[in-house]
C-alpha cells in the first residue's frame, strides 16, 4: 500500500542532528527542505515538504528514542497493508 500523502507529521529529534535529518529526508526520501518561520527556526529542527508530504522535525533536549514502538508500528503497518491488499480479496 503506497503512501500517497502525509499532511503534517511532527516528529522529535535530538539537538544538533539536523545534518543527518537532511541527509535522510532530502537525499534518501527526496523530500525538499523548506525554511522554518524565524520564530520557530531558533529552536532548531527542520521541515521537509512537497505537494503531498509535510514532515516537521522539532528538537527535544531530552530526546530518547522509543525502542518498543518500532516493532509495534511496523507490525501494525504490515497488518494494514495485508488487509487492504487486492490479492487478499481473491483468497
How many CB atoms within 10 Å of residue 48?
A: 21
**Cα three-residue angle 57-5-25, rounded to 5 degrees:** 35
Q: Does residue 10 belong to any structural domain of this protein?
A: yes
- The whole-number pLDDT of residue 90 equals 44
Total domains in the fold of the chain: 1
Q: Does residue 26 belong to any structural domain of this protein?
A: yes
- What is the rounded average pLDDT for all residues in the chain? 79
Domain hosting residue 24, numbered range: 6-89
- The whole-number pLDDT of residue 5 equals 84
Q: Does residue 1 belong to any structural domain of this protein?
A: no
Question: What CATH number is attached to the domain comprising 46?
Answer: 3.10.180.10
Torsion of CA 81, 83, 84, 86, to 10 degrees: 110
pTM of the entire structure? 0.68
Provide, for the chain, the percentages of residues in helix, strand and coil under a 3-state DSSP scheme, each rounded to the nearest 5.
40, 25, 35
- DSSP-derived 3-state class of residue 74: helix
Amino acid at each position: 500500500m503506497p503512501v500517497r500523502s502525509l499532511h503534517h507529521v511532527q516528529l522529535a529529534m535530538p539537538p544538533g542532528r539536523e545534518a543527518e535529518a537532511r541527509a535522510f529526508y532530502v537525499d534518501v526520501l527526496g523530500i525538499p527542505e523548506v525554511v522554518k518561520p524565524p520564530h520557530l527556526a531558533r529552536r532548531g529542527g527542520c521541515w521537509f515538504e512537497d505537494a503531498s508530504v509535510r514532515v516537521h522535525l522539532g528538537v527535544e533536549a531530552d530526546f530518547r528514542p522509543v525502542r518498543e514502538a518500532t516493532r509495534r508500528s511496523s507490525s501494525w503497518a504490515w497488518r494494514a497493508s495485508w488487509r487492504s491488499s487486492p490479492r487478499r480479496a481473491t483468497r
